[in-house]
């Protein structure tokens, strides 16, 4: 864990525009900078950086945060990794706080395992320069159309023919044999001898999300070897179901293009990367898993499955479609021509031709599934009915009702049946799923646990609540100096935070918008209990795990447009008088909007109430509230 002093040194030293300019070309605009957003495709810059506030905000896709959260978002790394990146940039020594002996041993072991894998990776790469490596491995890579630059960029290598080539080299370099065995780089034979697992194989490293080597996949070049591919066994570093080949190289392009292509093999991934299609990954020698889908979903909700056009590829695509939909993602399918896979097709076609093929042959899941299943059903009416039911069951997995309705209409037209028949099937299917989920929750639920939930946003109150949060986050520590004689006058003045928080707590007010209430509560905890200033509070909220709250905070504290009017600049510079006027006005606005919100609720209620007495009570309360609103408006004018 990074020490507080180190964090403070990093925060004090960094300049957000310098950190972000490592990844994005920034252009000066007034007091800030703009650029085309690195998180989504755009032609007109909507990505703004404010050096004075130390935050960034894209007004196109909504991404926002501090320099640290930018590195986290762009590089898809942890907070600690982002801080270490910035520390290295500014030549700051990172001091780690003391941790328990058990935790320290666990960290040291994990790091040792990573270092062993890195040694093995360098060893396999170095073997490409040997006579055997050049003659066998490089010749194979070149035959597959891979260029030297690609071989180097992807970190490909060669496991030589010696029984203990890697094992002896690693032990001689000081690495423990037990770690080689644990990672599966070495294996112990029945006679007790320890030998290399990978021999005479071209080697493909498997990277973690942060770019560390966690495992290997080795391919034999011998036609008589039944084990075409041998992969590292699962270890503390590598869990097959949670890993994706190519994810480290592809993650940025998946985010930028908001789309991921899923293929079957590691050569497929590398060939497409070389061709120029960077947002492509493959499962690690296993069927697609829920964990892998969720890993992709971190970067995009749009997945296109690109498998071979043979029966195995079709079955794999059908199997994966429902899983992807269940995770709330959009899925499309591309089947390549018979006898082709992404590797072979990518080697014989240009980037433009490949992209054109995808555009022309990409299908939504309903068209794909219907077309495939109907072929097997033929003219048999019972089998056709089974196809309709199966397609309807797939549609039922879509979370959005509008999207479901669109697909229902398409299926009804395709099969010539009424839409309500499909809707009935979907309804029964969803009900069955809900019943099953409720039963599972009932078993797992504990009565003492409170049920969490978010209150719906109140559109009438939201703008005023946002305005008050703006004052808290930007000016909370500023002192309000009310003129002598004012009802708010205090000889020593009162801070903006104290003025707003006291008013809200005296009234027992909880913000109607649950996200705003979370921000307000977090502010009070950090400001009063932890003694943090507003700048540090904003920074912590921007770097927090809840990215929705981070986006809201950025919206509240960053200005999209620069103020150029001298008159406005002058007014804003005189913060004391300006705040003393507008902060009380904002609280009056809140009182007014609360009454308006109540009136809106009463007007809805009166439409459903049959009891005459209650109707009279509602009309009376509406009149009283409207009179109170009128008085507040007069008070604001005066």
| Residue count (the chain) | 638
What tokens does 23 get?
């990844």
In a domain, 451, yes or no: no
What tokens does 360 get?
């022309």
Q: What is the pLDDT of residue 453?
A: 33
In a domain, 351, yes or no: yes
In sequence order, the 6+-apart residues with CB closer than 8 A to the CB of 538 are 53, 55, 473, 553, 557
Q: What is the pLDDT of residue 310?
A: 67
- Regarding whether 355 and 217 lie in a shared domain, the answer is no
In a domain, 591, yes or no: yes
CB 242 within 8 A of CB 292: yes
The CATH number covering residue 293 comes to: 3.40.1360.10
- Regarding whether 227 and 144 lie in a shared domain, the answer is yes
In a domain, 249, yes or no: no
In sequence order, the 6+-apart residues with CB closer than 8 A to the CB of 534 are 472, 473, 474, 475, 476, 477, 527
In a domain, 505, yes or no: yes
**Weakly modelled stretches of the chain, pLDDT under 50:** 440-456, 561-569, 571-574
CB 116 within 8 A of CB 175: yes
Question: Kind and range of the H or E element at 105?
Answer: helix 101-126
In a domain, 294, yes or no: yes
The candidate with the shortest Cα–Cα distance to 245, out of 355, 154, 316, is 154
- Regarding whether 289 and 373 lie in a shared domain, the answer is yes
- Regarding whether 66 and 24 lie in a shared domain, the answer is yes
Q: Which of 35, 55, 89 is the last residue of a domain?
A: 89
SS3 200: coil
With b for 16 or more beta-carbon neighbours within 10 A and e for fewer, the 305-328 pattern comes to bbbbbeeebbebbbebbbbbbebe
In sequence order, the 6+-apart residues with CB closer than 8 A to the CB of 314 are 307, 335, 372
Q: Where are the beta strands (DSSP E) in 63-147?
A: 64-66
- Regarding whether 162 and 230 lie in a shared domain, the answer is yes
What tokens does 559 get?
């200005």
Give helix 401-415 / helix 365-377 axis angle, nearest 10°.
Answer: 30
CA distances from 197 to 224, 245, 446, 522 (A): 18, 20, 48, 53
For residue 550, how many other CB atoms are within 10 A of its CB? 24
List residues bridging with 282 in a β-sheet: 245, 263
The values of phi and psi at residue 510, to 5°, are: -115, 130
In a domain, 509, yes or no: yes
> How do 302-307 and 260-263 pair as beta strands?
parallel
What percent of the residues of the chain are helix, what percent strand, and what percent coil, each to the nearest 5?
A: 55, 10, 30
Q: What is the pLDDT of residue 564?
A: 41
Q: Which of 36, 61, 89 is the last residue of a domain?
A: 89
In a domain, 350, yes or no: yes
In sequence order, the 6+-apart residues with CB closer than 8 A to the CB of 362 are 304, 332, 333, 334
Q: Where are the beta strands (DSSP E) in 456-609?
A: 479-480, 494-495
- Regarding whether 402 and 277 lie in a shared domain, the answer is yes
Q: Which of 211, 238, 265 is the last residue of a domain?
A: 238
- Regarding whether 511 and 379 lie in a shared domain, the answer is no
Q: What is the pLDDT of residue 99?
A: 63
The CATH number covering residue 182 comes to: 3.90.980.10
The CATH number covering residue 21 comes to: 3.90.580.10
- How far apart CA 152 and CA 175 sit, in angstroms, is 25
- Regarding whether 203 and 321 lie in a shared domain, the answer is no
- Regarding whether 623 and 497 lie in a shared domain, the answer is yes
- How far apart CA 39 and CA 74 sit, in angstroms, is 7
In sequence order, the 6+-apart residues with CB closer than 8 A to the CB of 560 are 48, 57, 59
The candidate with the shortest Cα–Cα distance to 239, out of 204, 217, 212, 215, is 215
- Regarding whether 269 and 233 lie in a shared domain, the answer is no
SS3 246: coil
**Burial class of residue 30 in the structure, from the number of CB atoms within 10 Å of its CB (0-12 exposed, 13-18 middle, 19+ buried):** exposed
- Regarding whether 209 and 74 lie in a shared domain, the answer is no
Q: What is the pLDDT of residue 450?
A: 29
- Regarding whether 304 and 355 lie in a shared domain, the answer is yes
The values of phi and psi at residue 200, to 5°, are: 55, 50
User: pLDDT per residue over 229-275, tens digit each?
Assistant: 899 999 989 988 889 999 989 988 888 888 999 998 889 999 999 99
Sequential DSSP letters for 5-29:
HHHHHHHHH--HHHHHTTTS--EEE
Range of the domain at 114: 108-238
Global model pTM greater than 0.75: no
Q: What is the pLDDT of residue 383?
A: 81
Q: How many separate domains does the chain show?
A: 4
In sequence order, the 6+-apart residues with CB closer than 8 A to the CB of 153 are 249, 273
């Amino acid at each position: 864990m990074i020490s507080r002093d180190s964090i403070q040194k990093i925060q004090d030293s960094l300049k957000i525009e310098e950190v972000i300019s490592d990844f994005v070309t920034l252009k000066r605009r007034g007091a800030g900078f703009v650029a085309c957003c690195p998180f989504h495709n755009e032609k007109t810059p909507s990505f703004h950086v404010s050096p004075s506030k130390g935050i960034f905000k894209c007004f196109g896709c909504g991404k926002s945060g501090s320099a640290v959260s930018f590195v986290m978002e762009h590089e898809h790394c942890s907070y600690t990794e982002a801080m270490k990146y910035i520390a290295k940039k500014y030549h700051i020594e990172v001091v780690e706080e003391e941790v328990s002996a058990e935790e320290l041993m666990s960290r040291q072991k994990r790091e040792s395992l990573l270092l062993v894998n890195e040694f093995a990776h360098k060893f396999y790469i170095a073997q490409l320069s040997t006579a055997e490596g050049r003659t066998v491995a490089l010749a194979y890579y070149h035959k597959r159309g891979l260029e030297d630059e690609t071989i180097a960029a992807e970190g490909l290598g060669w496991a030589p023919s010696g029984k203990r080539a890697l094992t002896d080299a690693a032990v001689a370099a000081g690495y423990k044999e037990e770690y080689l065995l644990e990672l599966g780089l070495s294996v112990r034979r029945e006679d007790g001898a320890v030998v290399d697992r990978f021999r005479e194989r071209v080697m493909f490293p498997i990277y973690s999300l942060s770019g560390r080597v966690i495992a290997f996949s080795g391919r034999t070049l011998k036609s008589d070897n039944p084990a075409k591919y041998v992969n590292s066994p699962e270890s503390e570093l590598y869990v097959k179901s949670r890993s994706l080949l190519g994810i480290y190289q592809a993650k940025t392009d998946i985010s930028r293009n908001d789309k991921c292509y899923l293929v079957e093999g590691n050569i497929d991934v590398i060939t497409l990367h070389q061709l120029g299609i960077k947002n492509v990954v493959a499962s690690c020698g296993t069927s697609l898993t829920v964990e892998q889908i969720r890993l992709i979903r971190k970067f995009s909700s749009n997945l296109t499955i690109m498998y071979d056009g043979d029966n195995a590829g079709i079955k794999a695509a059908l199997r994966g479609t429902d899983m992807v939909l269940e995770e709330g993602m959009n899925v499309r399918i591309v089947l390549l021509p018979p006898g082709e896979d992404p590797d072979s097709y990518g080697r014989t076609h240009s980037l433009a031709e490949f992209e054109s093929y995808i555009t022309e042959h990409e299908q939504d899941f309903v068209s794909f599934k219907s077309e495939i299943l109907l072929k097997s059903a033929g003219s048999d009416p019972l089998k056709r009915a089974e196809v309709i039911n199966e397609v309807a069951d797939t549609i039922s997995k879509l979370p959005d009702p509008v999207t479901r309705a669109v697909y229902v209409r398409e299926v009804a037209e395709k099969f010539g049946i009424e839409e309500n028949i499909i809707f009935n099937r979907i309804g029964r299917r969803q009900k069955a799923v809900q019943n099953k989920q409720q039963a599972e929750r009932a078993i797992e639920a504990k009565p003492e646990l409170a049920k969490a939930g978010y209150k719906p946003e109140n559109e009438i109150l939201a703008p005023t609540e946002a305005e008050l949060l703006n004052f808290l986050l930007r000016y909370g520590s500023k002192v309000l100096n009310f003129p002598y004689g004012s009802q708010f006058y205090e000889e020593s003045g009162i801070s903006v935070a104290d003025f707003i928080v006291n008013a809200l707590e005296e009234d027992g007010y909880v913000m109607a918008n649950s996200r705003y209430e979370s921000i307000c509560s977090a502010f009070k905890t950090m400001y009063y209990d932890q003694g943090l200033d507003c700048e540090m509070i904003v920074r912590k909220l921007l770097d927090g795990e809840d990215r929705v709250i981070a986006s809201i905070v950025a919206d509240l504290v960053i200005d999209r447009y620069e103020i150029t009017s001298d008159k406005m600049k002058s007014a804003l510079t005189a913060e004391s008088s300006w705040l003393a006027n507008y902060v009380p006005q904002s609280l009056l606005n809140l009182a007014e909007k609360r009454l308006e919100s109540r009136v809106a609720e009463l007007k809805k209620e009166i439409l459903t109430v049959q009891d005459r007495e209650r109707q009279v009570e509602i009309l009376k309360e509406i009149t009283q509230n409207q009179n109170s609103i009128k008085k507040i408006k007069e008070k604001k004018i005066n």
